[in-house]
A and B are shown apart, each in its own frame.
Chain A
Amino acid sequence: MTPARPEGHGAGWDPEVLARIQALAFQARVLVAGFLHGAHRSTRVAHNVEFADYKDYTPGDPLRDLDWRVLARSDRLVVRRHHAEHELPVTLVVDASADAGTGEAGRWPRGGRPPLTGSKWGAAAVLAATVAWWLRRRGEPVGLAVVAGESVPWRWLPPRTGRAHAAAILGTLAAAVPAGRADLGTALPAIGARLPRRSMVVLISDLMEEPATWAEAVAGLGAGLRDLRVVHLHDPREWTLDYPAAARFRSPEGGRPLVVDPAGARDAMAEVVADYLAEVRAAMVRAGARHVLAPSDGALSAVVARLLREG
């Protein structure tokens, strides 16, 4: 598999992108520093480094795994078993649709890049960079798939190790501008077709499409032996209609605006959000995915901890 052709690669490095890369790297290092718990444990049992347990010898077991000392002491044939460490490719799927470009950080130029703090896209980029940084430190392969968005250097970076690969991931995240519609129901199956059978998939999205349209695609993403983890980004202010006065609410993805007086609709909005979350969680349960809510204004370290913890 070859990497997708980078968009606008020929335009050279944008100083803003370089600055964002540095900022991403810095924030990733900070977050990883706060999360320094060991490596993934293999789900396979193999003859390698670390002792796991004994089992009674059965014909066909390698004789080299026989524990002679136990045989000498107890006259029993037992076989030593070990945990095996191996590479677990991780693919980061990041939603860069226009809706992800909103947040409480205030206004920024249309078509510009949202700040890394105070916007949903900023939180998504930082989270993806953190995971990538952490995996690079562990020497494990990590890949990136970007859904929607503009100015994306690489739509698809397959899981690989290495400093240059990690830099490409950070560069892609730093350069991308949220734009367009994610259309998860179509995009996720295409990405899933490229993923290794045994891997971890981290989907970072605001999931602002009807659950019925993407539930099946998400389930497909986590099918087989894949470990699917979904970071559900959201701006609490949007979910609670925490706005001072009535206004026209306009989606960056287009469509006609809606006039809302937040004071009167707040209670009903809470019911709507509860119903929506219930649908999302049901879809996650069906997909066997770990669902991690990530407020755009909250501490990302906690999100990283919940995202990467074992089990």
Chain B
Amino acid sequence: MQAGLLAPAALALLALALGPVLAHLARQPPRRQVRYGAMLLLERLARRLRRRRRLDDRWLLLLRVLAVALAALAAARPELRWPAANAALDGVGAVVVVLDDSLSMDLVDGAGPARETLFERARREAVAFVRDLPQGTRVGLVTVGGAARAVTPELTADRDAVAAAIEALRQGPGSTDLAGALALARRMLAGTGGAAAVFTDEAGPVAVPAAASEIALFGEQGLGLIPRPVRARDPANLVILGATYGEGLEGGSVRLTVANYGAADREAPLTVELPDGAEIHAFVDVPAGGTAEERVTVPRVAEGGVALARVDDERLRLDDAYAFQLPRVGASRVLVVDGDPGPTPTASEVYFLERALAPWGAAAALEGGVLPDVASEVGAVDLDPEVHRVAFLANVSDPGPLAARLLAFVRAGGGLVIGVGDNVTAERYNEPLALLLPSPLRRAESLTAPGENGVPTELPDVSLELFRPFARGGRAAFGRVRWRRLFTLQPYEDSEQVRTLMRTASGLPLLVERRLGQGRVLLFTGTFDLGWGDFPLQAAFMPWVQRLVTYLGGETGGGGLRLEGRVGEAVRVDLPDAALDVSVRGPDGPVAVRVRGGQAVFTPELPGAYVVETPGAPPLAWVAIHTDPAESDVRLTHRLVETAARVDPERFVHHEPLWPWLLWAALGFAVLQAALAAALGRRAAAEEVSRAA
């Protein structure tokens, strides 16, 4: 066994042992004696110094206790934890820049020269981030807005190219697909490792939580997540959450719901832009963090279609407009041409039609209901396509003078219902109305003998658009309608232009439709009064009459489909004929559309009104496209790092050990107390008044 010294030079430290010896010698009591005649004063001096030393000792005690306590605390190895990115950029060889270009990033922040959108700031910071990456770092770029997109198909070492790609990005109105973007980034980093630097405003209630599973996968695969929040100093935004056209068949007002996602109450101007270009202005007061409703009255005559409600908000303009479906208002006025004013009300078709069309009277009709104009045969010249949408010919004896006007009316998109009666003859109808009638009239025939019940009506096919509202109820009421007499038609076959919508139980045509131009003609082979049947007395009569008006274009601008959609999501429109030549018109003009499986499919890139059209026919569909309402909520509710910490606490929580600090502090206090003790010792030695042994 051998003993040796690994560091013999350290023996020089033994010289430190002289310190205590010198201190001991320095503390030796003096030998010199003085005869002193004022011991009273020295006694007092000793007491005074003892008091002072006791005060000094307290400080010394405090420092020593602190030193020991901190050392004990350090032994417990305390640490601070907080959510943080789990990867430092240093040493990462691959980085995917995830840039949020969703709608919420259009929020304007700052003032004056510093005024810019969050996207502009994020883009600037992302470019600087890429340019500052170490040489040789491989970089990728993924965007978040709408559907996440990999701008660079794979990682590249050409940082300038990535920076140029970032600078070329433009703000969009899409939603935040953070999960998709992280998935793309993760796939890009697969096999190489690295980190994703996410430049996002983290705004909205769902964007960050929706990415939780992807964040977890990041952790599981050992990838880093480096949040680079780009936040507004005082996020605020006004947005229209909804617009609903007024109640009733025709309605009369639009109810707008406006939300304020700011910290201050706001008053803002509202504008409702109707499909015909008319504008209605209003103001709305919205409390901070709340919503408010505002009603806007729509003119009695307004074009149907998709209207736009717009709130004036400078902070986030992309979501200022809200598209909503607006039925044709007021223009669905009905003209009833009374060809047989009866001696009694019940003997008059107009009596029953008026009450079916405006059951709550003219005053109610003026507030939004159907308002029928009643005219005689002579007064039928009042038929005005700009005002009337539907015309009823009720037992008109001689429609010849009206034929040309009626034809133009229907071709222009009007709806014509021809009701027969005792005044009607095939001779007066077939020739002048040849272009309008679905089938030439034959003659009026009695179906039963006097005193017998009439022939019942066949239950209608509710798959037909006309009867679709009766699918949920009311269909059976048609079976109780009986007919004693009807006008028969010459033989015809259903085609694209002509089809039978109602029949009697015996198979006689009751209601036949003919498409003509942009309008339709419905030939009703019965009467609207009680002359030939009991239809006006049955429960089905009034809804059927009102449905006729709607069906013929009174409710909407042409009766096309009413659809809602969201920016960036595909809209599918069922086509009556797959061979139709379909086009789509959006806020900025034509939109690419493809027909697949009998559906027209297009993806709107902007919010607003879209119309699906086919040449020579009313619009097939009116589509209101909205932005993602979650994007409008610019408040910061979920932080990326905090969400990550919840998903995978160990990976996304930063641990900061406190014990080294505590140890240093303990050491500091120890040194401090030593210095103080030394100073006090020197002073005590200097002041020392002690009893000599």
Contacts and interface: CB of A to CB of B under 8 A. Distances in A.
Interface of A: 98-103, 107, 120, 206, 208-210, 234-235, 238-239, 243, 245-253, 255-261, 263-265, 268-269, 271-273, 275-276
B42 interface: yes
B681 to A, nearest CB: 11
B691 interface: yes
Contacts of A256: 691-692
B609 to A, nearest CB: 94
Contact of A99 (B29, B32, B39, B46): B39
B692 A272 contact: no
Given A261-B687, A265-B687, A276-B40, A249 B48 contact: no
Contacts of A269: 41, 45
B81 interface: no
Contact of B49 (A234, A245, A247, A268): A268
Interface in B113-170: none
A268 B686 CA distance: 11
B41 A258 contact: no
A268 B48 contact: yes
Given A260-B42, A261-B686, A101 B691 contact: no
Interface centre among A102, A258, A264 (most CB of B within 10 A): A258
Nearest to A254: B39
Given A209-B40, A250-B35, A265-B688, 17 more contacts: A98-B37, A99-B39, A102-B36, A206-B37, A208-B37, A238-B37, A248-B33, A251-B37, A257-B33, A258-B692, A259-B29, A259-B688, A259-B691, A261-B687, A265-B686, A268-B48, A269-B41
A103 B52 CA distance: 30
A234 B36 CA distance: 11
Nearest to A246: B30
A268 B29 CA distance: 21
B13 interface: no
A210 B42 contact: no
A247 B32 contact: yes
A39 B614 CA distance: 146
A257 B29 CA distance: 12
Contacts, number: 121
A105 to B, nearest CB: 11
9 contacts: A239-B38, A248-B29, A248-B31, A251-B35, A252-B37, A255-B39, A264-B687, A268-B45, A271-B48
Contacts of B221: none
B689 interface: yes
A263 B683 CA distance: 10
A263 B682 CA distance: 12
A99 to B, nearest CB: 4
Interface string B626-662: 0000000000000000000000000000000000000
B44 A101 contact: no
A292 to B, nearest CB: 18
A123 B49 CA distance: 32
A259 B37 contact: no
A171 B40 CA distance: 31
Contacts of B35: 102, 107, 250-252
Nearest to A271: B48
A114 to B, nearest CB: 10
A235 B39 CA distance: 12
Interface string B85-107: 00000000000000000000000
B33 A247 contact: yes
A271 B35 CA distance: 22
B39 A272 contact: no
B34 to A, nearest CB: 5
Nearest to A253: B39
A311 B513 CA distance: 145
Contacts of B30: 245-248, 259
B41 A238 contact: yes
A109 to B, nearest CB: 12
A272 B691 contact: no
A209 to B, nearest CB: 7
B36 A264 contact: no
A149 to B, nearest CB: 14
8 A-B pairs with the lowest CB-CB distances in the bound complex, closest first: A264-B686, A102-B37, A99-B37, A251-B39, A249-B36, A247-B32, A264-B687, A238-B38
Given A251-B36, A259-B692, A268-B49, A276 B41 contact: yes
A121 to B, nearest CB: 9
Interface in B44-61: 44-46, 48-49, 52
A240 to B, nearest CB: 10
B538 interface: no
Contacts of A120: 37
Given A249-B42, A272-B48, A259 B34 contact: no
Given A265-B45, A269-B45, A272-B44, A235 B686 contact: no
Given A260-B42, A268-B45, A268-B48, A235 B688 contact: no
Contacts of B689: 258-260, 265
Nearest to B682: A264
Contacts of A206: 37-38
B33 A260 contact: no
Nearest to B52: A268
A15 B117 CA distance: 116
B48 A208 contact: no
Contacts of A101: 37
B687 A249 contact: no
Given A264-B685, A265-B687, A248 B39 contact: no
Q: Which of B39, B49, B689 has the most CB of A within 10 A?
A: B39
Nearest to A264: B686
B690 interface: yes
B41 A260 contact: no
B692 A276 contact: no
A208 B45 contact: no
Contacts of B690: 258-259
A158 to B, nearest CB: 30
A247 B35 CA distance: 10
Nearest to B36: A249
Contacts of B34: 243, 247-250
Contacts of A276: 40-41, 44
Contacts of A275: 44
B38 A260 contact: no
Contacts of A208: 37-41
Interface string B658-691: 0000000000000000000000000101111111
Contacts of A273: 41
B65 to A, nearest CB: 28
A234 B38 contact: yes
A107 B45 CA distance: 25
A76 B683 CA distance: 81
A260 B688 contact: yes
Nearest to A261: B686
Interface in B1-47: 29-46
Nearest to B693: A256
Of B37, B49, B687, chain A has the most CB atoms within 10 Å of the CB of B37
B49 A235 contact: no
Contact of A258 (B46, B48, B52): B46
Contacts of A250: 33-36
Nearest to A211: B40
B37 A258 contact: no
In this complex, the member of B44, B45, B49, B52 whose beta carbon has the largest number of chain A beta carbons within 10 angstroms is B45
B577 to A, nearest CB: 113
Contacts of B33: 247-250, 257
A41 to B, nearest CB: 38
A264 B691 CA distance: 17
Contacts of B41: 208, 238-239, 269, 272-273, 276
A273 B42 CA distance: 10
